Amino acid sequence: MKASSKDARSLKPAERSRLARGVNKETEGRGEDQSGFYLVYDGLSAFVARAVMIEEATVSLDLKYYIYSDDTSGRILTGMLLQAADRGVRVRLLVDDLGTRVTNPWVLAIDRHPNMEIRVFNPVEGRSGIRRGIEQVLNFGRINHRMHNKLLVCDGNVLITGGRNVADGYFSKAETEFLDVDMIAVGAVVPDASSIFDEYWNSEVAVPVTKLALVDDDTCTLDELRERVAVYLQGERESEFSRALEKSDLAEKLIAGDVPFQWGKGVLFADPPRKAIDRDSVPVSAYPGYKLEKTLKQCKQRLRITNAYLIPGVPGLDLFSTLQQNDVQVDILTNALATNDVAAVHGAYSRYRKPLLQAGVHLWELRPAAQQKQRLHWFKGKSRASLHAKTFVLDEDRGFVGSINLDSRSIIQNTEVGVLIENVEINRQLNRLFDEWTAPDAAWQLTLDGDRILWHWESEDGQKRVTECEPETRWWQRVLAKILSWLPIEEQI
């Protein structure tokens, strides 16, 4: 029988496990306010990092994700979570109802496990079809606020956060590959993450999945589910993900205390969950977006932003213009029309391109082929790149990695999480990644020629090219983006 978790709290961190001993080696002799950070920016390594945490856990696993897909990577990680629960690890999984459609009847069997529980953030009553659509319309004011967070905490000792959801596209296996960044952290910032998870888990907005009306047409016992999982994992032993995990030495490095963590002060920014149901009761000063804006204003030399959805609005435009006037060079990489997966977002963003360029901001847009030279040898064939990262390089000594897009939805509507890091080497790594993603063969650089926007890039034969038409797009895409740019929906996207 599952113990009541009405007001469940994080368990005491593991002390005797292999992972705990490795973390202790890393943290020994460090100040109480110090955290260690390790940047993960290729998709396959990001999958391996999550799988290693699950494999090594002995006490607890707390996960919350906007999207948790029922695809190859999602099923492998879910199978591993079930195996962890069978070892006695307490597993708590919180997913957003809009990003993750919880309709799979297997969920009911998973939730029956005495060591596992699944909760859904701000759920729609209808699980599918017309009823769900009607409720979304009638309750738009509530449904419009989503949990966009991405966080995994293992044994109270290690966390992973950043921009990645759980889905194949974030781990380098899909027709569209999302370029993204995660951060593994140990030390002082981890207890803060556990407290934030508890706040979400115990909020009135997090509903146990057993209280939702799932279509129970494929019920199975827990033992039957274990058999299905074992068969599935065996069948995936030759998959790219399983082979990458088998060949990875991340676990051994963590256990031996050999991961090259970069140490410094870290501050975790996170929206309170109440923002999703009673935004007026949450002071603006508690918003991560507000805290991030204050931090950006402190820049003295440079600000380099990688952001998937860029709709700065008048406040953002004023901020970047003021920084430029104060001799702070602002560089921004975002998606092009050819790589943006939301046409309405691109339409709204396109209104700000000329003002940003006129203010002196250096602006790049990602090319669809940006990541081809980076794809690891396990994956064959081509995929189109789309930017999903949300990172900031601040001067020479700070960096930010999180889930926050520079649009009204992230700043005002959704709940977000991210970490501000005071460390020169992390700053350098994020800066090198920005240079790599904005290279002429990876991104188009935008300039102004009078009133015209020009896109500059380098062709496969090394020739410099320029055009005044949005590259690699069809006429109807450009027309649609233009029409959408006229709609007064900026605060909703």
| Residues labelled catalytic | 148, 150, 155, 388, 390, 395
Judge whether 317 and 356 are in contact, CB under 8 Å: yes
* Helix, strand, coil percent values for the chain (each to nearest 5): 40, 25, 35
Task: State the DSSP H helix or E strand holding residue 86, giving kind and residue range, or none if neither.
Answer: helix 72-86
Residues in the chain: 493
User: Comparing C-alpha atoms, which of 297, 219, 270 is closest to residue 410?
Assistant: 270
DSSP for residue 412: I
Q: φ, ψ for residue 255 (rounded to 5)?
A: -65, -35
In the block, residue with structure tokens 């701000």? 122
Q: What is the bridge-based pairing of β-strands 384-387 and 266-270?
A: unpaired
Judge whether 392 and 320 are in contact, CB under 8 Å: no
381 burial type by CB count under 10 A (0-12 exposed, 13-18 middle, 19+ buried): exposed
**What is the token pair recorded at 214?**
């799932």
- Cα four-point dihedral sign 214, 216, 222, 228: negative
In the block, residue with structure tokens 């390790």? 38
Judge whether 493 and 393 are in contact, CB under 8 Å: no
CA distances to 124, 128, 170, 207, 288 from 97, rounded to whole Å, are 7, 11, 19, 10, 22
Residue type, 306: T
CA distances to 78, 217, 220 from 231, rounded to whole Å, are 13, 21, 15
**Cα(58)–Cα(88) distance, integer angstroms:** 7
Q: What is the bridge-based pairing of β-strands 398-402 and 390-394?
A: antiparallel
Q: Where are the beta strands (DSSP E) in 53-134?
A: 60-65, 90-96, 116-121
Q: What is the bridge-based pairing of β-strands 60-65 and 35-40?
A: unpaired
**What is the token pair recorded at 43?**
């998709």
Judge whether 242 and 76 are in contact, CB under 8 Å: yes
Longest dimension (CA), the chain: 71
Q: Where are the beta strands (DSSP E) in 170-276?
A: 176-179, 182-187, 206-208, 262-264, 266-270
Residue type, 15: E
